[in-house]
Structure 1
Amino acid sequence: MKTTPTTSSAAALAAALLLSAPAFATEGGGGIYPNGAENFLAGAMPPPGWYTLAYGTHYRATELRDKNGKDIAAALGGFRAEVDAIVPRLIWVTPHQVLGGQLAFHAIVPLVEADVRIGPVRQRERGIGDLNLAVALGYHASPSFHHVFALEVNAPTGSYDSKRIANLGRNYWNIEPVMALTYTQPAGINADLKLMLDYNFRNRDTGYRSGRELHADYALGWAFGKGWVAGVGGYFYRQVTDDRVAGATLAGNKGQAYNIGPSIKYQSKDGWFLTAKLERQYSVRNRPDGSAFWVKTVLPF
């Protein structure tokens, strides 16, 4: 870890600002799910077998928006957050069916580097983030329309210290029901929607319980043939219940953000595909405001 300045008192002060600043809905202004991670083919479960996916992202924010959308970074002495991650995802689509859907499981272990500066304090952390496990059922209504229902559990495995401003984990458990829809065809409209609701448990180190979060990743594009699709992608995010600390409600600090940017996909005849997109946040409230670049690829075993 790199910390500037090196005094623990300065870092503790910055951490206190991070947790108490009105521009941070949910604890520290973030969430367990990396909004915008999904792209085309989010709801299309492949045939039975083992699959490896890999996500890569770079996120940068230099603004903090309060409940009115005003940037308050200058009032804190400046702000910058940069997050780089490589996120391997292992999927097992079983040969079994449950309730008419194909049964599948996945595990995600993110590798994260976070670099955060608030005022004079800068911290950088690198390591494993929070573990994600899921059980899912996949359906194929037609050759073009597919959908998935899943239940994901996020475990607090990432490095965390309440006195740090840069943490790799959230330090609380999370349950996230998911519904993902995909409409895909070799030529014409392609569309995807992944809808999620986060139920967050209490951070035992701080007594903080982040509110429930409703969010959706989306992609909309046009297939030109030969495996190519181009369009737009992003996410919608809205916090739907208030945060609580030691049983007391923190009213008026719910977060929101919308995100959009260009997106592209290439799918080969051999079954692998690659997506990439650049996203910019808009209408941000009570959260950091920035932009992200995402890539995703899948390779069958």
Structure 2
Amino acid sequence: MTMVKHHRCAILGIVGTLALATMPRTALADAGGLSFWLPGAFGSLAAAPAVPGWSYATIYLHLQSSGGRGANFVLPGGGRGAVAVGLTDHADALVQGITYTSALPVLGGQAALTILGAPGNVGVGVGATLTGPLGNTVSGVRTDNRTTFADVFYQGTLKWNQGVHNEMVYVTGNIPSGTYDANRLANLSLGFAAIDAGAGYTYFDPKAGNEFSVVAGLTYSAPNRDLQYQNGIDFHIDWAASKFLTKTFQIGVVGYYFQQLTDDSGPGAVLGGFRGMTVGIGPQVGFLFPNLSEGYQGYLNLKGYKDLATENRPSGWSTWVTFAISPAPPETAPAKPIVRKY
């Protein structure tokens, strides 16, 4: 069951405080509110080794969120004011990924490499209100909608198995694409390179049908040169627990925890450190198709997440529909009966 990942679109808008009074249309797509890492990217059986060979996965991903941010500021003459920024956004993406799992052992484990890309549609709305020292307010609204392509993503994994216990280390990152536009609010491409690395564990007992997976990692993001903005270092945990009621049907729960560890930085970080945090949980259901075609099996997984708490990030929900095709495990030959000769 090949698990693949995708990232959330970088679509948080921050409106310049004093510029808003004279140019309400001046809003910038800012990387501070969302991250390279999309919480929930890893799920059930994340660390379990797969059958060697080529596999393919497609994910339909829908994101819906809204949020706000306020900040006080000091005018050049010493007066005080405030700005409030509100955001609504949605995104629909169709992630396409191909994975090669090596049959040759690497450090006693199983190595695999995945390449992913995604077309999608993004819609963003940003509203801002500027309050001056005398209580006067000026408001502005800007929206953007765009159908475009995301970055190209890569992921390498190394997995080990000891009975019901499975361990994994991984590294993943992106290759920024030319579709990023610093003058647009809506982008699926990040506009900067990032790298993420971590480790995971899966407990899976096929006889009892019990499964639990957890993956933790750290993300480092390079600066966005167009916005003069750099995200801080992020820490994240994805987890999943499920029960196989039959050999081909699975139900369970999924969740995540995301915490930014260091401040955003650069001249574009006008709202300070802007450290983000989010906690989410939701249901999942899975279906295995063991005889999809000769030598291959299929796997369909549906899961959803609802943010329970957020800080400096839009709050909302997401749905994931994953269909993967991978080599089927070899059939176990039936044991020959013991014939006693007297």
Normalised to the residue count of structure 1, the TM-score between the two structures is 0.84
- Please, what is the CA RMSD of the aligned residues? 2.5
- Helix, strand or coil: the match of 2:232? coil
Instruction: Report the counterpart of residue 198 of structure 1 in structure 2.
Output: 219
Q: How much has 1:190 moved relative to structure 2? A: 1.2
Say whether residues 1:232 and 2:236 are aligned partners.
Answer: no
Structure 2 CA distance for partners of 1:226 and 1:48, relative to 1, 3 Å: closer
Match for residue 153 of structure 1 among 173, 180, 195: 173
Q: Give the conservation status (yes or no) of the 8 Å contact 1:242–1:249.
A: no
Instruction: Report the counterpart of residue 80 of structure 1 in structure 2.
Output: 88
Q: Give the conservation status (yes or no) of the 8 Å contact 1:244–1:250.
A: no
Say whether residues 1:300 and 2:318 are aligned partners.
Answer: no
Instruction: Report the counterpart of residue 100 of structure 1 in structure 2.
Output: 108
The farther-off stretch of 241-250 and 147-156 is 241-250
Instruction: Report the counterpart of residue 130 of structure 2 in structure 1.
Output: none
- CA distance in 2 between counterparts of 1:196 and 1:227 reads 30
Q: How much has 1:197 moved relative to structure 2? A: 0.9
Matched letter for residue 62 of structure 1: S
Matched letter for residue 231 of structure 2: S
Matched letter for residue 44 of structure 1: A
Q: What per-residue deviation string (whole Å, max 9, x for no partner) do you get for residues 208-257 of structure 1? A: 11001111221112221232221211211000111110498975421000
Q: Give the conservation status (yes or no) of the 8 Å contact 1:242–1:250.
A: no
Structure 2 CA distance for partners of 1:52 and 1:81, relative to 1, 3 Å: same
Q: Give the conservation status (yes or no) of the 8 Å contact 1:84–1:114.
A: yes
- Helix, strand or coil: the match of 2:46? coil
Aligned residues between the structures: 276
- Percent of pairs identical after alignment? 28
- Helix, strand or coil: the match of 1:226? coil
Match for residue 290 of structure 2 among 269, 273, 278: 269
Matched letter for residue 101 of structure 1: G
- CA distance in 2 between counterparts of 1:284 and 1:65 reads 12
Q: What per-residue deviation string (whole Å, max 9, x for no partner) do you get for residues 36-86 of structure 1? A: 13321222231210000112111111333679xxxxxx943x532001111
Structure 2 CA distance for partners of 1:198 and 1:180, relative to 1, 3 Å: same
The farther-off stretch of 43-52 and 157-166 is 157-166
Matched letter for residue 283 of structure 1: A
Q: Give the conservation status (yes or no) of the 8 Å contact 2:265–2:273.
A: no
Q: How much has 1:158 moved relative to structure 2? A: 5.6
Normalised to the residue count of structure 2, the TM-score between the two structures is 0.74
Structure 2 CA distance for partners of 1:281 and 1:192, relative to 1, 3 Å: same
Q: How much has 1:116 moved relative to structure 2? A: 0.5
The farther-off stretch of 27-36 and 109-118 is 27-36
Matched letter for residue 256 of structure 1: M
Q: How does 1:207-286 map to 2 (within 5 A)?
A: 207-246=228-267, 251-270=272-291, 271-286=297-312
Q: What per-residue deviation string (whole Å, max 9, x for no partner) do you get for residues 96-140 of structure 1? A: 222111222110112221111112321112122011112221211
Stretches of structure 2 that go unaligned for 5 or more consecutive residues are 1-21, 72-82, 128-140, 292-296, 328-342
Q: Give the conservation status (yes or no) of the 8 Å contact 1:158–1:168.
A: no
The farther-off stretch of 252-261 and 226-235 is 226-235
Structure 2 CA distance for partners of 1:231 and 1:248, relative to 1, 3 Å: closer
Instruction: Report the counterpart of residue 121 of structure 1 in structure 2.
Output: 142
Q: How much has 1:288 moved relative to structure 2? A: 0.3
Rg larger in 1 or in 2? 2
Structure 2 CA distance for partners of 1:65 and 1:222, relative to 1, 3 Å: farther
Instruction: Report the counterpart of residue 335 of structure 2 in structure 1.
Output: none
- CA distance in 1 between counterparts of 2:265 and 2:326 reads 43
Match for residue 27 of structure 2 among 5, 9, 14: 14
The farther-off stretch of 183-192 and 287-296 is 183-192
- Helix, strand or coil: the match of 1:268? strand
Structure 2 CA distance for partners of 1:223 and 1:248, relative to 1, 3 Å: closer
- CA distance in 2 between counterparts of 1:113 and 1:138 reads 34
Structure 2 CA distance for partners of 1:29 and 1:224, relative to 1, 3 Å: same
Structure of greater relative contact order (alpha carbons < 8 Å, 6+ residues apart): 1
Instruction: Report the counterpart of residue 5 of structure 1 in structure 2.
Output: none
Stretches of structure 1 that go unaligned for 5 or more consecutive residues are 1-8, 20-26, 68-73
- CA distance in 2 between counterparts of 1:11 and 1:50 reads 51
Structure 2 CA distance for partners of 1:158 and 1:247, relative to 1, 3 Å: closer
Say whether residues 1:36 and 2:40 are aligned partners.
Answer: yes
Q: Give the conservation status (yes or no) of the 8 Å contact 1:181–1:192.
A: yes
Structure 2 CA distance for partners of 1:248 and 1:33, relative to 1, 3 Å: closer
Matched letter for residue 160 of structure 1: Y
Q: Give the conservation status (yes or no) of the 8 Å contact 2:100–2:113.
A: yes
